[in-house]
C-alpha cells in the first residue's frame, strides 16, 4: 500500500499575470516556493533561479478578475465613463 500525497490547495497558490521571455501567461508560486509559468495554451514550465530574471510580474490575477467583474456589473467601461461625476478643483 502506498501513501498518496495530498494535492496542493488552490487557496495556497499565488497567481500573477506575467511575461516570460516576452510571452504572456501566469506565474504561479506554490506553497513550497516553486514558480511555475503557464502560458495561454496551458503549457506549464517550472522555472529555475536562472529563469527568474526573464520573468516580468504584471499584476495579481484575483484583483484584476474581481475588478473586471465589478466593471461588468456596473454596465461596462462605457457606462462607468459616462456616469462618473466630474471632479472640479
pLDDT tens, 38-65?
Answer: 998 888 999 999 999 999 999 898 888 8
Cα 23 to chain centroid distance, Å, stands at 14
The reported pLDDT for the residue numbered 35 is 92
pLDDT of residue 6 exceeding 70, the answer is: no
Is the pTM value of this prediction over 0.75? no
DSSP state for residue 1 in the 8-state scheme: -
H/E stretch holding 57 reads: strand 55-60
The reported pLDDT for the residue numbered 5 is 56
The reported pLDDT for the residue numbered 48 is 94
Buried b (16+ CB within 10 A) or exposed e, 5-16: eeeeeeeeeebb
Q: Return d(Cα 15, Cα 32) in angstroms, integer.
A: 14
pLDDT tens, 20-40?
Answer: 999 999 999 988 889 999 998
Angle formed at CA 28 by CA 22 and CA 34, multiple of 5 degrees: 105
Amino acid at each position: 500500500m502506498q501513501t498518496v500525497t495530498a494535492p496542493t490547495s488552490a487557496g495556497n497558490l499565488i497567481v500573477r499575470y506575467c511575461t516570460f521571455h516576452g510571452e504572456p501567461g501566469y506565474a504561479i508560486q506554490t506553497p513550497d516556493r516553486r514558480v511555475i509559468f503557464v502560458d495561454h495554451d496551458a503549457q506549464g514550465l517550472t522555472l529555475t533561479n536562472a529563469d527568474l530574471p526573464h520573468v516580468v510580474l504584471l499584476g495579481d490575477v484575483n484583483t484584476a478578475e474581481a475588478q473586471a467583474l465589478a466593471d461588468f456589473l456596473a454596465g461596462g467601461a462605457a457606462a462607468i465613463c459616462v456616469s462618473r461625476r466630474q471632479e472640479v478643483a
